[in-house]
Amino acid sequence: MKTKKKNHKGITLEYGVIDNVEEYVDVDIWVDLPTGEQYLVRVYKEVGKHGIIGPSYRYAESPNHDFGHEDATPPLEVHQAMDSIMGDIASMIYDEEGTREEGIQEAWA
């Protein structure tokens, strides 16, 4: 997976399209706070359908802890950091969706 990295007010965001899902275009975002806390965020879109879904948040106290399975409520700073990259994430999703739809059409030709 090719990733991009951005820093927003001390919060590091690393994100990329997940390659192994056919029906959905998933983007995972790893959010590292200066405190050592982390969030794993997922935004996705069903191929051929309208609208991007997400984000959903999972929380880890530190890099040595597993991400929880339930939706976490991140602090305002994480929402602001996510807002700073959502345009790029939407572009990544729509570009990847176009590539996957072209591949499907070629497979049926």
Q: How far is CA 40 from CA 7, 8, 57, 76, in A?
A: 16, 16, 6, 15
pLDDT given for residue 102 in this prediction: 65
Share of the chain above pLDDT 70, in %: 90
Flag whether pLDDT at 1 surpasses 60: yes
Q: Cα(first)–Cα(last) distance of the chain, in Å?
A: 28
pLDDT given for residue 71 in this prediction: 82
Identify the band that residue 86 occupies on the pLDDT scale cut at 50, 70 and 90: very high
**Distance (Å, whole) CA 29 – CA 92:** 12
pLDDT given for residue 90 in this prediction: 93
pLDDT given for residue 65 in this prediction: 84
- Per the model's pLDDT, the better-predicted residue between 24 and 21 turns out to be 24
